[in-house]
Amino acid sequence: MAEYRTRYAPSPTGAMHLGHARTALVTWLRARREAGRIVMRIEDLDPPRVREGSEESILRDHAWLGLDWDEGPFHQSTRTARYEAALARLEAAGRVFPCTCTRKEVQAATASAPHGDDGPRYPGTCRERPSHPERDPAIRFRMDDGPGFVDALAGPYEAGRVGGDFIVRRSDGLFAYQLAVVVDDHEMGVTEVIRGDDLLPSTPRQIALYEALGWTPPSFLHVPLVLGEDGERLAKRHGSVAVADYREAGWSPERLLGTLAHSLGLLPAPTPTTLPALLERFSLDPLSPAPVTLPAP
Ligand code: GLU
């Protein structure tokens, strides 16, 4: 059997928050349980969104929790040539086309159109030729209905829940997440992608790219999101949600691990625990696909 390989893929756009820590804990437990390897990949593809000091703090927070890795950190910002090569293959196969629509134009054209799980479908305006040849084009991948797949936790995700041509390279020349993540996961030998379930609707797009590039997709496990008390996806406006906030409030890594493990159904109560103790009892069975809320520090 192939070696189990997975990855942490943080974007250095802010602090590591509780939702990231919960997903990283599942990643660590799953990989260690399978005697597999973890790659650390910093997703710094979009320079304007990168925050000074974020990468260092994210790496420190992983280390504080004991969530180690075996390879990396690798940086997407140094891997542009690989994305170029993949794009050239998609171009040669006729799977992409230049698109000069602005976001506003796409929105206006699709305002009353049916929406998929991640928004409206691109209406195909530039499929034959760019609508505004004088503009710098983005590059879109041709996709009608996105393929279905079976998530290791959420179960079947039907074909066609997302669809439409999507951007693989932006008009400013930056590569889009969808292409970079597929090239990286493939080249880094990832056999299972573990990430937050806000990215579920990206998965059919990525599987379509694997197929177009002639690569076998990995399996996918999407961990439910952590919500703020108001039921919205956890974010800065919910106050202290960063791992560092808990540390500064005097929490030990064991206490935070216990709280996270309890939220994953791995402990009957949020009592302090260690990674080796969790590893012994780890199973995906008690994990519910429902989102959770967690206590403030
Ligand atoms: N970089 C993304 C994030 O931090 C994760 C992407 C992925 O796991 O595929 O949300």
What per-residue confidence (pLDDT) applies to 54? 97
Q: Which residues of the chain are under the pLDDT cut of 70?
A: 1
Tally of domains within the chain: 2
Q: Dump pLDDT digits (tens) for 196-217.
A: 999 999 999 999 999 999 999 9
| Residue 104 annotated in active site | no
Query: Could you tell me if 65 and 10 lie in one domain?
Result: yes
Query: Could you tell me if 159 and 85 lie in one domain?
Result: yes
Ramachandran category for residue 235: left, alpha or beta (phi over 0 → left; psi -120 to 50 → alpha): beta
Query: Could you tell me if 89 and 162 lie in one domain?
Result: yes
Q: From ligand 1's centre to the CA of 199, what distance in Å?
A: 8
Among 181, 215, 233, which residue terminates a domain? 181
The active-site residue, picked from 129, 236, 248, 279, is: 236
Q: Which atom of ligand 1 is nearest to the CA of 185?
A: 9
Query: Could you tell me if 124 and 104 lie in one domain?
Result: yes
Q: Which atom of ligand 1 is nearest to the CA of 20?
A: 4
What per-residue confidence (pLDDT) applies to 115? 82
Q: Which of 13, 182, 199 to mutate to test the pocket of ligand 1 (most atoms within 8 A of CB)?
A: 199
Ramachandran category for residue 50: left, alpha or beta (phi over 0 → left; psi -120 to 50 → alpha): beta
Query: Could you tell me if 55 and 95 lie in one domain?
Result: no
Look up the domain containing 144 and give its range.
Answer: 80-181
Residue at 216 is within a domain: no
Query: Could you tell me if 98 and 132 lie in one domain?
Result: yes
Query: Could you tell me if 289 and 231 lie in one domain?
Result: yes
Residue at 33 is within a domain: yes
Average pLDDT, the chain: 94
Q: What is the CATH number of the domain that holds 113?
A: 3.40.50.620
- The tokens for 34 are 């399978």
What per-residue confidence (pLDDT) applies to 231? 79
Query: Could you tell me if 12 and 55 lie in one domain?
Result: yes
Query: Could you tell me if 98 and 172 lie in one domain?
Result: yes
Exposed e or buried b for every residue in 255-286, given b needs 16+ CB within 10 A?
A: bbbbbbbbbbebbeebebbebebbeeebeeee
Exposed e or buried b for every residue in 96-111, given b needs 16+ CB within 10 A?
A: bbbbbbeeeebeeebe
